[in-house]
Structure 1
Amino acid sequence: MQQFGIERSTFGYLKDGTEVERFTLRNKTGASACVLTYGATLHAVRVPDRHGIYEDVSTGYPTLNDYLSKPQFFGSTIGRFANRIAHATFSLDGTTYQVPANDGPNSLHGGNEGFDKRNWTVAAVDNETVSVTFQLISPDGDQGYPGTLNVTATYQLDDNNRLSVEYTARSDAPTIVNLTNHVYWNLSGEGSGFSALDHLLSINATCFLPVDGALIPTGEIRDVAQSLFDFRKPRRIGEYVRDARDRQIAVGLGYDHNWVLDGGRTQRPRQIAQLEDPHSGRRMTLSSTEPGLQFYSGNFLDGTTSGKSGKFYRMGDAIALEPQNFPDAPNQPQFPACRIGPNETYRHTIAWQFSLID
């Protein structure tokens, strides 16, 4: 087995015979990450615990057919617009656009055939930097969105166990863009049987976005102080995740909300959250350039979906931390801008730094 660099292999074939490739990125310390061309998906992440044992800490499916047929977005690149758009419609420069309503009356994660459902092409492979770049061309009118969008996703793993993905996008006409990665984490190991609700989470945010019954932001930006949404200091995730007395928790059956990150959008990634697992001793520090963080506590993992380990994923077996712009930003002008013009480049970098608890 190759000890350092990139290993390229076949993960499966689409119905039309197109190959879906898997790239395994390995650094010099023994950590690795697997990414797929299908959905520009982060398929697996193996990092050591306090005893030096390497385990896969991200959820995912064992086969391509699972990714084709199941709805959880495990590790997928989400676009053209991540999260929800109310009533599956928005206006841009005086024109109203209709996009797929695939979450009740609303649009979720770019529609039925979002970027997670596309087989991206391989644009570059660099063994020296242990990085791979995928590319996707989303044509004008794709899922109802205007403008032909040229998107890249570059995954890189360094020798300090820092995994990153940089997204870029350019359009030939005004459009909206909001890209993220929907990876789910369990730092005890995705098949360990230990709950991610026992992890400690901190988020660098003094406010969050309350939602209505359809999980659309109401427009209010609410202070987290003296609420169940205050993660400014590390808090056990499961402490209040089932507290139905809080309307916001009850609406989402747990956490499924966007935090307003301190400092807003930045040019370079800055630390926005930290996840710690007392059981394994693993720590993940999350950085991003975007203004929001969607924290989803795995509320709809119902035990019917089995993962790479062959075990069923239940509620709380993994949690998602998705850096992004605010949900429904196209319809809420007080939220950060999501429009790009034909002479602009969208960039979003996400970095996951793995280490051990002191």
Structure 2
Amino acid sequence: MKQLLLKNKSGIQVGITNLGATLTKLLVPDRNGKLTNVVLSYLLLPDYIPDPYYIGATIGRYANRIKAGKLTIDNKCCQLSVNEVAANNHLHGGFSGFSKKLWQIVKQTDDRVDLAYTSSDNEEGYPGKLNVIVSFLLNNDNELWIHYQATTNKTTIVNLCNHSYFNLSDSSDIRTHHLQIHTEYYTPADEHNIPIGSIASVENTIFDFRKDSLLNAAMLKFDTVNYVFGDKRGLQLMATLMDKLSGRCLQISSTQPGMQLYFGNYLSDPFQPYQALCLEPQHFPDAPNKKAFPSPILKPSERYSHSVCYKFSIV
């Protein structure tokens, strides 16, 4: 288990550990040049081993939820592990998903880290041997890029994302943050956060963040939701997060069709509820069981590839 460090000319520092291909710190200057860690982190690397909150981790083989852990691939039923027991869901790759694995360090330079992991056939119930590479790149335009690649020897499903919790301020909660989400659609879900299968407008709902919105009241109305950006496969601006006191601004762009928003309601010791929020570009929850959703299927003849860009600026 190792800690790796990236730096750029603006002073931004990125910490990464090969346990779970995890983002352990992200130091970003405010308008006065003061550096603050804008992602939740544990003080010590061993604390990431029992972590129940997926702090900064790479999530896989399938991020988010699959109802009852059941899906059909090539007309064959697959049963994944059911680790969200109370809701009867498969969550974030199972009991020992990619966030719990020790990744191989393939490349390390001042501005780039490449990590690799091979998931065996039937790991957590997933078919196929999956070879994964996750690359972290920090440039001098104050952009942190994460690139994901995967290949398989059997038809399977793949949905990889980073599970960082962001707080751009120097305080212990996100109440004064402003959020804008650049889409008008979301996937309505049931009480267990499983989409019912439709795509709806955010118009006249509590999920409408099309305009710059203060989080103080909004974040108490719900805990999580999946937003829809379509299946265009190009880089799309998804969210803009701002803390006007510090001046820090984060824009998140991705090639994924959806983005999960989670306000960190259920964080607890050593953290606290609403201390930070997740903005996670990914495939839709339960997409393998919803024919109308973009497909997360990966075949042996294909390469899974997508990118996320976290761009920091001062407002």
State the TM-score, normalized to the length of structure 2.
0.97
Amino acid at match of 1:39: G
Q: CA deviation at 1:220?
A: 2.1
2:233 match: 266
Amino acid at match of 1:234: D
Q: Trace 1:1-358 onto structure 2 (pairs within 5 A).
A: 20-104=1-85, 105-127=88-110, 130-189=111-170, 192-193=171-172, 195-243=173-221, 254-261=222-229, 263-267=230-234, 269-302=235-268, 304-305=269-270, 313-357=271-315
The root-mean-square deviation of aligned C-alpha atoms, in Å, is 1.1
Q: Give the ranges of 4+ consecutive aligned residues of structure 1 lying more than 3 Å apart after TM superposition.
A: none
Amino acid at match of 1:110: G
Amino acid at match of 2:207: F
Aligned length: 313
Structure 1 residue matching 2:108: 3-state secondary structure: strand
Q: CA deviation at 1:338?
A: 0.5
1:86-141 deviation digits (Å, cap 9, x = unpaired): 011111001111111111211000101000000100111233xx101000000111
Could you tell me how far apart the structure 1 residues matched to 2:210 and 2:310 are?
19
Amino acid at match of 1:287: S
1:10 match: none
1:146-195 deviation digits (Å, cap 9, x = unpaired): 01000000001001110111000000110000000000000014xx32x2
Amino acid at match of 1:198: T
**Gapped regions of structure 1 (runs ≥ 5):** 1-19, 244-253, 306-312
**Gapped regions of structure 2 (runs ≥ 5):** none
1:56-111 deviation digits (Å, cap 9, x = unpaired): 11001122332111201011000000000001111100111111111121100010
Could you tell me how far apart the structure 2 residues matched to 1:96 and 1:205 are?
34
1:247 match: none
1:291-328 deviation digits (Å, cap 9, x = unpaired): 100000011013x22xxxxxxx2111100000000000
1:217-246 deviation digits (Å, cap 9, x = unpaired): 111211101111111111112223223xxx
Could you tell me how far apart the structure 1 residues matched to 2:84 and 2:42 are?
23
Could you tell me how far apart the structure 1 residues matched to 2:149 and 2:167 are?
28
Could you tell me how far apart the structure 1 residues matched to 2:156 and 2:41 are?
31
